[in-house]
Amino acid sequence: MLSKAVSNTELWFFKTSPLYIKAAHSTFLNYIKKKPSTLILQLPQGPLLLEGVLLKKTFNCKIVVDVHTGFVYGHTLKGLIINKPFNKLLNYVDLVIVHNNEILDILSPSIIAKTEVVYDPWMFIQSTEQTSSNDKYLVFPASFSPDEPLLEVLSAVNEYKNIKVFVTGNCYRNPALLRFSSSHVEFTGFLNREDYMKLLVNSFGVITGTKDEYTLMMSAWEAVAFQKPLILSETKTLRNMFDDYALFYNWKSKESILNALSEVFSERDLTYARKKLKEKTINSLNTLTKRLKEI
Cβ–Cβ < 8 Å for 165, 186: yes
- Looking at beta carbons, which pairs linking 276-282 to residues 24 or more positions away fall under 8 Å? 276/244, 277/119, 277/224, 277/241, 277/242, 277/245, 278/123, 280/119, 281/119, 281/120, 281/121, 281/122, 281/123, 282/123
- Segment 54-64 shows an average pLDDT of 96
Q: Is the domain defined by 2-118 classed in CATH 3.40.50.2000?
A: yes
* Residues 50, 58: Cα–Cα separation, whole Å: 12
CA nearest neighbour of 47 among 17, 75, 69: 17
**What would the pLDDT profile of 36-57 be if each residue is shown by its tens digit?**
999 999 887 788 899 999 999 9
CA nearest neighbour of 173 among 55, 78, 72: 78
Residue 240 has pLDDT above 90, yes or no: yes
CATH class as words, domain 124-271: alpha beta
Taking CA 45 as the corner, what is the angle to CA 42 and CA 48, rounded to the nearest 5 degrees?
Answer: 75
Residue 82 has pLDDT above 90, yes or no: no
Task: Assign 173 a pLDDT band (cuts: 50, 70, 90).
Answer: very high
Buried b (16+ CB within 10 A) or exposed e, 221-233: bbbbbbebbbbbb
Say which residue, 84 or 141, is predicted with more confidence. 141
Backbone conformation region of residue 169, classed left if phi is above 0, alpha if psi is from -120 to 50, else beta: left
pTM: 0.91
- Which residues make up the CATH 3.40.50.2000 domain(s) of the chain? 2-118, 124-271
Cβ–Cβ < 8 Å for 223, 206: yes
Residue 151 has pLDDT above 70, yes or no: yes
DSSP state of 76: S
| Predicted pLDDT of residue 73 | 83
E strands in the chain: 38-43, 62-67, 95-98, 115-117, 137-141, 164-168, 185-189, 205-207, 230-233, 247-249
Say which residue, 270 or 70, is predicted with more confidence. 270
* Residues 169, 144: Cα–Cα separation, whole Å: 7
- Segment 127-151 shows an average pLDDT of 86
* Residues 267, 280: Cα–Cα separation, whole Å: 25
Q: What is the mean pLDDT of the chain?
A: 91
